[in-house]
Structure 1
Amino acid sequence: MNPTIDHRWNVHYDRLSDYQHAAMALPFGVPQLITGLAGSGLTTVAVFRAAALLQAGPQISRPRPVFLATSVLRMRRVRHLLGPLAEHMDVTTVSDWLLRRFVATTGEPAPPPQGVNWMTLALATSSAGASPAFSVMVDDAHHLRPEQLMALRLLTADPFVTAHSAAASSTGASLMLPVAAELDRRRRQPRRVVRVAAAWGAEPPRTDREGSFEDGVVDVRPLSAAQAALDALARWKVNRSSRVVIAPMVTDHVPKIANMLIARGLGRNRLFSSDVPKNAFHRWDVGAGGIYVMQPGQLEGLEFDDVVATDLEHLAGDLSEATNIYRLLALANATRSRLALHWDGSTSDRPPAVRLLDGVDI
């Protein structure tokens, strides 16, 4: 039996922009490519599109929606956003879905994901009689390689695909799809955080009021990674339902900070770290209140109440390089209320990422 769905199962529904509503309402049964800026709500649109397919019933969703994410972290975030509706969908990663379709259709064992030729695999799946799948959502498609995009297009009938505007041309070419809708920036971030993102290379605000109606908090000061983590722990203890992420620029500091927080009394069921052995901590859940310790690049597509960046003095190289811009904007775009930017003031001057904020009203 198809579940009865009220869109208000998710508080984000009342906050959707006109652009998001328009993208959600595009015709079913037709391939669609939706693009937008980072932070414009692409994942939210894809989630509500999946919910709308459930509402439409099996005659449209045929027989149940498929939601494909580009990483395990993003898949878990989608499961959190969907809540109980996830039980009525197939929510998995792109690579896992392609491999499972290959095995189910050909009867052959799945090849190792590393180094697999995705287009060859898709052709073998199709030649073995696999019908194109209906009601497939593909989120953050700009993270996929061209051969993965072409494989998805071959094995899906009406994919609903989201991708960043910067990759619209290449993504559309691989999928052989024009852009059906483009999202404007969603008004959900504190204005000060929006200004920080603009200073780091994001599209600047169109008006002084772009962003939420709150200023938010941007804390910029020298502080060691250890002290920044302890301060974050103290703030979280005041509001244990909040989600705090600590993102050190030094990869080796991820497990060190996680272990330090455990030693300082943070319960293992409230610490989430992607770079620590899974058997050491509670299962990763990007929706639970707690403290997350992650690399900066892993924040893309996720949201946290309190984002703490440490070791900014180690952000090496030219800040105009795509890799550095990506890491910085991931910090800003993941921030819902508070952004903290710290560096070790005892051993270095103000880092370039901080100097870029000179003159910015934060």
Structure 2
Amino acid sequence: MTDFPGAPDPSAPRDGRRLRVLAAMSGGVDSAVAAARAAEAGHEVTGVHLALSANPQSFRTGARGCCTIEDSRDARRAADVIGIPFYVWDLAERFREDVVEDFVAEYAAGRTPNPCLRCNEKIKFAALLDKALALGFDAVCTGHYATVVTRDDGSRELHRASDLAKDQSYVLGVLDDRQLAHAMFPLGDTLTTKDEIRAEAERRGLAVAKKPDSHDICFIADGDTQGFLAKRLGTAEGDIVDEDGTKLGTHEGAYGFTIGQRKGLRLGVPAADGKPRYVLDISPVNNTVTVGPAGALDIAALSAIKPRWCGTPPTGPGTYTAQLRAHGSETPVAAELVGDVLEVRFDAPVRGVAPGQAIVLYDGTRVVGSATIAHTERATPAATATADPAA
């Protein structure tokens, strides 16, 4: 691994437009085009690839994320074509502590974490940003699809991308004022399809133009989350029960389940009504998984902890829309910050909300902030007919 040898020349011109930008380059097409656009806009851009795996796979075969050696080479080749300096920074230990270990601990506690939000919070816009600022850079540039708007008073707001189909503001909802002030998302304010981004990359001579997108969890190369957790948490047989406590089957570890899961339950006793059953609750204390009908997944309200605000925290009750998963739809809510807890009530019940997930609040296209779901309140049976399963 190589490291950046020193800060940029402080005597470089600062005319209010030309910034010293550190472009995080994953080796994919989005981050490569973002770096190219930042350089084309006249900024002084340096590319950096984050080595997040202590034992990266040599090639992409069997790997589904963005942490392979091949990815770092793709990023370097893209930087060469753009004509910007390029370095590799080893953040594997920090990533292991702040993202991977947190992921395992959350599952062990019966919660369902989102490692992408944690990576943005702790790695890309904390560890990376802190290092960039210490070296004299003004901003960190990434290939996320979101928009930062500067208000007349100089404060920053995070908004959805112009193309809502590609919007990634949900996973950036953990960014605070300071981080937004140094964030740059060159892809967020253009109405271009992914095919057009690839076409742009090809016009620029970037070999990643046809590279497949990364997906799933980057540090689980084969996509087998349950197998990954089993290696770290071991197996522990427990019961699968219905809402009355009747044993329906067994499992090898409660961490292998998520709220709302239907497949893979392997129940030997069919439901009396013949309908599918879903995971309703996960109890790590007694290693028990509770299953039941789809209607029992409907949630009327929730409490969320560890709020992070993309601007001034809201005061008093307010009405917003909320997004509960990366590719979910918005749903109207009433929310209020009570002490350090965000209390949220849905206008209509939503389905399959799991503790550990993030809730992100929006005011129009503006991201208000996010919090981690701690507790949920089940909807009354009369309300379940209007539940929104896509929220």
Query: What TM-score results when the alignment is normalised by the length of structure 2?
Result: 0.33
Relative to its length, the structure with more strand (as a share) is 2
Query: Which has the higher Rg, Structure 1 or Structure 2?
Result: 2
Relative to its length, the structure with more helix (as a share) is 1
Query: What TM-score results when the alignment is normalised by the length of structure 1?
Result: 0.35
